[in-house]
Every structure is written in C-alpha cells, then in structure tokens.
Amino acid sequence: MDGSTMSRGLLRVLTCGSVDDGKSTLIGRLLYDSQMIMEDTLAAITRDSRKHGTVGEEVDLALLVDGLEAERQQGITIDVAYRFFTTPRRSFIVADCPGHEQYTRNMATGASNSELAIILVDARKGLLTQTRRHSYICSLLGIRHVVLAVNKIDLVNFDQQVFDRIVGEYATFAAGFGFHTMVPIPVSGRFGDNVSTRSGNTPWYRGETLLEHLESVSVEEELTQIPFRFPVQWVNRPNQDFRGFSGTVASGAVAVGENIVVAASGVSSHVTRILGPAGDQERASAGESITICLADEVDVARGDVLAPIADRPAVADQFAAHLLWMDEEAMLPGRQYMMRVGNVWTSASVTSIKHRVDVATLDHQSATRLSLNEIGLCNLSTAQRVAMDPYAQNRLTGAFILVDRFTNRTAGCGMINFALRRATNVHHEHFLVDKAARATALRQKPMLLWFTGLSGSGKSTVAKLVEQALHRAGRHTYSLDGDNLRHGLNRDLGFTDQDRVENIRRVGEVAKLMVDAGLIVLASFISPFRAERQMVREMLGEREFLEVFVDTPIEICMQRDVKGLYAKAKRGEIANFTGVTSPYEPPEAADLVLDGSGPAADALAQQVLDMIERRMADG
Amino acid sequence: MQPVQTHSLSPHLRRLEAEGIAIIRETAASFRNPVLLYSIGKDSSVVLHLAMKAFAPGRIPFPLLHIATGWDFRDMLEFRDRRAAELGARLIVHTNPDGLARGIGPLTHGSQVHMDVMGTQALKQALDIGGYDAALGGARRDEEKARAKERVFSHRAPGHVWEPRGQRPELWGLYNTRIAPGETMRVFPISNWTEFDVWDYIAAEQIPVVPLYFAAERPVLRRGGALIMRDDDRMPLNEGEQIENMWVRFRTMGDWPLTGAHESRAQTMEEVLEELRLSRVSERHGRLIDNDQEASMERKKREGYF
C-alpha cells in the first residue's frame, strides 16, 4: 500500500432509516461500488434477484445486506448487523439496524459505537416523524457528524427544489442537536447517483459524493485534547518485580514522568513506564491499549480511574442522566439494578424520573416508570462512589449500562449529565450508643425475619405465633404487617408495580431502623418481586436478614380466601392482584421454605424458631 | 517473551489491535475460567498473538484448547505443537472419544455428521470437562452474512445453546459479562477484522502461520469441483480420479478432506496479500461444509458450532 492509503484510518458509520427509504439498497450500493462484493456472492444475489428481487432484471443490491428477513420471520431480534468495506483511502464499519419495533434500542446500540450517521430521507416523502426520532437519538448518543442522504432523488426527477426544501426544513429542525457537520447529499441508491460517482442528473449539486465525503470527513474528536482518563481493566502482576495497570486510554494522553491520581482515593503517583503492544513507549493517547507502571506502591484495582491531578473526573454516588430503557420489563424507580460504568460494577437504582422524553415530538412528560424504548431524564444512586464525566464531555467515562440482577439482560443504557452535589454533602451521623451496644443491653441478636408468600398463604398467622413464642422467651420483638403499614406510612401507595417497589423500600428502611434499635423484627409482606426482597437483604446485610418463604399453592390460598380477596380479584374488582393478575416470583434461595399446604401453623412456627436459635448461637 | 517490534502498523490496524487486546483482557478479568480456542488457523493465530501482547510481560493466564477431529492436516498439528512449546503455553487437545470409537469421519459419514460429532459435540465436551465459563475464538463478522450480527460477547445458555433472546446489546465498550451458573460466553476479539486486515496484520507483525497458507507443489485430486490435498491414504480414489502435483495454497484451515485448495503461486506474505487484493471470490468458497445446506452457518451456531 502506498503512503496515502488508509491515511484517515477507520470510520464507524451508522445508517438510520427503514427499508422503505432504500437503506439496504444504499448500503448494498456502497459495498458494490467499493468492489467489496465477491463473484460468488454476486452470482448468488443475481440468482436471488430473479426470485425475490423487486427491481426487474437488474441486480437488487438490497439483497446483499438483507438476508435478515428470514430471521425476522422466525422472530429473531436483530439489533445491529455490521458491514465492512474498504476504499484505498479509508476503511469503514457500517452499523445497520434493521426493523421497526425495537428501533430506539437498536439505534442506540449502533450509535454508541459510531462517529457518523447517515440519515436517510425518501425524497418523495420528505422529513417524517422517524427522521426526527433518528436525529434525536443520534444527538443524545453523542454523534456529531451527520449526512442527510436525500434518497430516491431519481423518483422526483432530480428536482433541486425538492432537495432544497428538505434540506432547509432539516437544518431548522436539527439546529439544537449539536451536530458539528451536517452534509446533505442528493442520492439514488438504486442507480448510484452521487454515491460514489458524481451524477450528470444533478448538475445543480456541486458538493462531494457520499463516498468522497465519508472518505474525507474528519471525525477526530478532541478525544486527545480532553483530559486524560484511564479506566483500569486488569492489574498485571506476573511476578514480584512487575506491577502494571492495563487498560485502554479513554481520552487524552499520558507520558512517562507525568503525575496522575487515582480518582476515587485521591492517591497520587507518577508514571514510570508505559508498555504498548510493541513494548515500551514514551507516551500513549486515546484509544491505545497499554499497561502503565507507577512509581509508588499505590492501591489500584480494576475499576479505578487514573487521571491528571489538576483535572479529575467527578466522584459521586448520585447523578443525573438520560436513561434509555431496553428491556421488556419496565424500569421502576427504587428497584436495584447492576450498573457498569467504566470497569466498575456496582448496584444502582433510579431515585426519580424527572421527565420522560417523547422521542417523536421531544416533549417532556411526567412518568412513574420507563418502558421498553422509552427515554427519561433520571436521578440515579449507586452503592459505591464512582468516577464519571458528563457524557457530552466524554463518551466513554460518561456512559453506563444497567443490567437486570436476575436475568442478567442488559436492561438500559445511560448518558450522564452531571454528578449531584447533594451526595457529597450528606454524611452519616455517628452516635455514641450503637447497635451493638443496644443489642447487648437487650441480650439478643437483632435480625429481620422476612415472610414472603401469596395472599392467604399463612405468612401473618405463622409470624404471629413466632412472635408470641419469642415474647414468652423474653425477646424484644416488633411485627411489621403490610395491611397495617398501608393505613399509615404507606397510605399514599397503591398496588401498581412501582408502588409495590416503593412500599417494600420503605418497609425495608423502617425494619433497618428497628434492627438498629436492637429488635427482632418480623415482616409479613407478599413482596412478589425477587428484586425488592434482594434490595432489603442488601440493606440489612446477610447476617441480619432471614427470608422465610411460606410456600402455599395458589389453589389452597384461593380455597381459604380468608379476606375474600381472591373472589373479588376473579370478579375483576381488584386490579393487580398477586397470583391472579400480577406475578409472584418465588425465592430461589430462601433461608427457610415452609410447606404451607400441609403442617399445622404451630409446627411451621417451630421451624422458624429453630432457625432463629441457630442464628443466635452462631456467635 | 518480548513482543515483536511493530513496524508501520496503519492507524486502522492499530485501532483493531487495541480493541482486540482490550476484549481479551476483559475476558480474563471478568470470568473465572476462560480458555482460548486455538484452531491453528490464521484467525486464532492472530488472537493468540494479541493475547500475548495483552498480558506482557506476564504469560497468558489461560490455556489453549484445540479440538482435533482426527482429520486435521498433519502440517497443522506439527505447527500447533511447535507454537505451544515456543510460547510456553498450556495446550489442551481434545477429540470426541465416542466419535473416535464409532469411527466417525467425513468420508464415511458425510461432512455434516462428521462436523457435528467431531467438531461441535467435541467442543461442548471439552468445555464441560474443563469447566470453562468463557471461550475466546477467532470468528469475524465479515466471514458470512449470519455472522454480521454476532456479538463480541456471545451468550450461551446451559448446554452451550445460542438463544437469540439471550444475546445482549453491546453499547460503547461496556460489555455485559454477567452470567448465571451453567451459562457460558463465547468471546470474539477480532469480530471487526476483515480477512484482509488479518493478513495485513500477520505480515506486519510477522506472526508465524501454518505453511499450508503459502503455495507449494502438493498432491491434489479434483473432486466435486474442489481441489483436495490427500494428506494420508484414508481417502480412496474414485474411478477416473488421479493425484496430480499442483501449485496450490489454502485460504482457510479445516479438515483436509473438507478444505478445498486453489491454484496459486503466492509463496510469500507479500504475494498472498497481492493475491487477496485481486481476488474476486469470498473466503468461504473453499470450505466444503458451508455449502451443505442453505443457512447452514446459522443452524450450526444454534447447535454450538463456532
């Protein structure tokens, strides 16, 4: 290869549009014109064109990239397919997101990894709602370079006025999106006009062809100009003589001899060595995977972020972010998720949704949850303090994903707006008399017994017997009951999923205070979701939380129907009734499972008492 | 060992190299017991090379696993053992003992049965025996349409099953590496490389590859439109077939009865690159197993084939 080859390196491109806009044909055209299509492949699609094609005797270039139709029919969700092509001047990875239903989610995935977006508009139809949606998501995900490809220009007789009108409208509408370049090009994917060769049909267009623009556009963000960030991925310690921190430089640059600080701990040192893929190097900048050695034996682990002393990231456990929800199970505020930011995994929850964004109109709406493909501005809280930058300043240290704790699905992705100061100013107050002192005075080990099960399973009955026995034995106890709390502390809550989550969160907090006071607390709540029971377990800690699953088949609960609730639910008089119209997720690893279908209540209570005794004896 | 000094890697290759190294480190950091699937071909040779760089000056913190089918080119096995010894890597070789006992082979049972029993099933056995929770491999997205949407971290349900619904969106470099007990992950550090990138990188980094990739005079026979190199005498000649000595090389590695050669005089890295630049046929053209059935890759992937 000669010197000019690949001088511009790699460009990652996202294509936005639906099949109707001719997206597949345009991508197929790019691949075809850049001679990336091999003879055997071309022979196959020529054959297929006769069979399935939509363009008569011509070769249907869309078939080069489609091939996904069969899978869509099988119900397979495809989020992003990647295509590769190379010209003598540059190489390209095209992220192609097919399908309509999962569009927001898919586009976000493609956009997160792209530097430039081609937004397709059908010249006959002009700007559509989806054009706005695509542009907004590109903007939100931080894409700064856009090509407005006004496609099917042949079908409007290569009319300049049509083109100018669309471009004018788009420029007005996209003014606030922060695009650094916005290049409109009249193209025909089917016939190739202005794709790789200048079209004789559009003499009024004097700009670059699509391919010329892709080859020449400079997207080298100021990634190397913004402050140095190095999320540590792996501690390399093969022997006593070597200790290095491996990772990829997220932004900025670093050189041997420079001072750095570990963001979370504030401990500083200086760089003594940088090992790159080819051995020692003097400096390294954004995108390089390297290993850094420091002068001092500082405490650094995976997840830590190294930064310049004078220009550190925020370190916080509360922050505001745009959250895009990707899971079929809706996001509920208060529910705990696993969050990955940089190389840190920590648990996190949304504390409030400030508003939801209507992706089509960009209007703000109030919301109590985020469903699949919805976007909201939220406040989040994490279990651990993490280093972060605003996404607008740094795409790599300002992004995070949320993962469902039970299914491990990637449930949401977020772009951090700013760290909340609040978190840094509210500290825990420490008192002279603490839990241990109170527990000693009461001569018992405080704990929370959490009874979960369907309505009518016998939770409260067993809990009452247990409390009675404990009280007789001189223990200090308190019972928290769902119905009672809903008359007071939780009277503002209903039975929707998000209210159930908040209900359990409050009960957890109250129980925690009571355990702190030294009591043995018995809580009887249907608490249908694993996630919330897990949340309470984590609030209290493993040693003080005992989950008792009263496992009674729903048929028996219905037969008993002490409160007549099942009958009402079946008549449709109660919405969201657990086991009937709302799910119950049984515990996977309860500390005790009681068979609620057979033994008498006092026998079940004895099993609980035995477990408490064992726990008390545990030291 | 000291990595080879790179000379003039293009910005494009440097970026792919950095990405590959990061993915390999991520695998080592996130999984309890990873393994590198070493198929001895050019792609897994690149992955191996990246792994050495990822952990230098230390050693690769996981073993290499080769699934031997009993029909591997002899040159491949020789190369494998030499490389493993040179690198001081821990090499595990597994062959499906049931298949071996039943005498499964491509000539007697057809390529589908052979690849399923000696390839796919053998791989699952080996992963289960080793208790590996992540397996690094050299698959690339440009190899085939069905791979274009494959994840970098590809989730496998218990039993190594690829379920479309279990695949996770991959945003930024924030891979979701969390798995439940019994689940595993396949990891593809060179997903974004093309065949040309692989050769370009092998040339620039002087990575040793199996000699079969370079042209030489070899004994071949023509069968089913392909040039088959008879690597031992287990393949009887049909009527009218004869062994010719021809100048050929291979574009992919596999079991010798299933891998077609093509006529070539490309004896050096530069000549191979030049041939690729001019080539108008896709890489998989020479693989006899892919043509077995429509959408065969997709089906194989579901079953656990790489």
Angle at B163 between CA B161 and CA B166, to 5 degrees: 115
Which of A7, A10, A338, A395 to substitute to test the interface with B, most B CBs within 10 Å? A10
Q: What is the DSSP letter of B72?
A: B
Q: Which residues in chain A are closer than 8 Å to B225, comparing Cβ atoms?
A: none
Peptide bond into A186 cis (omega under 30): no
Are the CB atoms for A298 and A243 separated by under 8 Å? no
Question: What pLDDT, on the 0 to 100 scale, is given for residue A164?
Answer: 96
Digit-coded pLDDT (tens) for B216-254: 999 999 988 889 998 888 988 888 889 999 999 999 999
Question: What pLDDT, on the 0 to 100 scale, is given for residue A55?
Answer: 61
φ, ψ at A251 (rounded to 5°):
-160, 165
Digit-coded pLDDT (tens) for A489-522: 888 888 888 888 888 989 999 999 999 999 999 9
Question: What pLDDT, on the 0 to 100 scale, is given for residue B290?
Answer: 47
Digit-coded pLDDT (tens) for A537-587: 988 888 899 999 999 999 899 888 888 888 888 888 887 888 888 889 999
Q: What is the dihedral of CA A390, A393, A395, A399, to 10 degrees?
A: 0
Question: What pLDDT, on the 0 to 100 scale, is given for residue A56?
Answer: 58
Q: Is the pLDDT of residue B291 over 50?
A: no
* A89-103, B54-68, B78-92: the lowest-pLDDT one: A89-103
Mean predicted confidence (pLDDT) in B11-33: 95
Amino acid (one-letter) located at A508: G
Spatial CA neighbour of A5 closest among B263, B216, B12? B12
Name the B residues in 226-255 with CB < 8 Å from any A CB: none
> What is the arrangement of strands in the sheet containing B262-263, beginning at the earlier edge strand?
B226-229, B216-223, B244-249, B262-263
**Residues in chain B, overall count:** 306
3-state secondary structure of B115: helix
Question: What pLDDT, on the 0 to 100 scale, is given for residue A578?
Answer: 87
Question: What pLDDT, on the 0 to 100 scale, is given for residue A121?
Answer: 92
Question: What pLDDT, on the 0 to 100 scale, is given for residue B266?
Answer: 94
Spatial CA neighbour of A182 closest among A126, A117, A121? A117
* A609-613, B1-5, B271-275: the lowest-pLDDT one: B1-5
Mean predicted confidence (pLDDT) in A311-318: 92
**A88 CB within 8 Å of a chain B CB:** no
Mean predicted confidence (pLDDT) in A125-152: 91
Question: What are the DSSP calls for A399-464, one per residue?
Answer: EEEEE-TTT--EEEEEEEEEE-THHHH------SS-HHHHHHHHTS--EEEEEE--TTSSHHHHHH
**B295 CB within 8 Å of a chain A CB:** yes
Question: What pLDDT, on the 0 to 100 scale, is given for residue A564?
Answer: 85
Mean predicted confidence (pLDDT) in A36-63: 64
Q: In the structure encoding, which two tokens stand for residue A63, read together? A: 């078939």
Q: Is the pLDDT of residue B297 over 90?
A: no
What confidence category does residue B145 fall into, taking pLDDT thresholds of 50, 70 and 90? low
Q: Is the pLDDT of residue A485 over 70?
A: yes
Cβ contact B25–A105 (<8 Å):
no
Q: What is the DSSP letter of A330?
A: P
Q: Which residue has the higher pLDDT, A526 or A45?
A: A526
Are the CB atoms for A292 and A254 separated by under 8 Å? yes
Q: Is A188 known to be catalytic? A: no
* A66-75, A325-334, B110-119, B159-168: the lowest-pLDDT one: A66-75
**A109 CB within 8 Å of a chain B CB:** yes
Cα–Cα distance measured from residue A604 to residue A461, given in angstroms and rounded to the nearest whole number: 10
Percent of chain A clearing pLDDT 90 (strictly above): 55
What confidence category does residue A359 fall into, taking pLDDT thresholds of 50, 70 and 90? confident
Of B54, B55, B176, which has the smallest distance from its Cβ to A403's Cβ? B176
Question: What pLDDT, on the 0 to 100 scale, is given for residue B292?
Answer: 46
Question: What pLDDT, on the 0 to 100 scale, is given for residue A251?
Answer: 94
Question: What are the DSSP calls for A209-267, one per residue?
Answer: -HHHHHHH-----GGGTSPPBEE--EEEEEETTEEEEEEE--BSEEETT-EEEETTT--
Question: What pLDDT, on the 0 to 100 scale, is given for residue B294?
Answer: 41
Are the CB atoms for B31 and B133 separated by under 8 Å? yes
Name the A residues in 308-327 with CB < 8 Å from any B CB: 326
Domains and CATH numbers, chain A: 10-220 (3.40.50.300), 223-307 (2.40.30.10), 316-421 (2.40.30.10), 436-617 (3.40.50.300)
pTM of the full structure: 0.80
Digit-coded pLDDT (tens) for B31-51: 999 999 999 999 999 999 999
Domains and CATH numbers, chain B: 11-207+295-303 (3.40.50.620), 211-292 (no CATH)
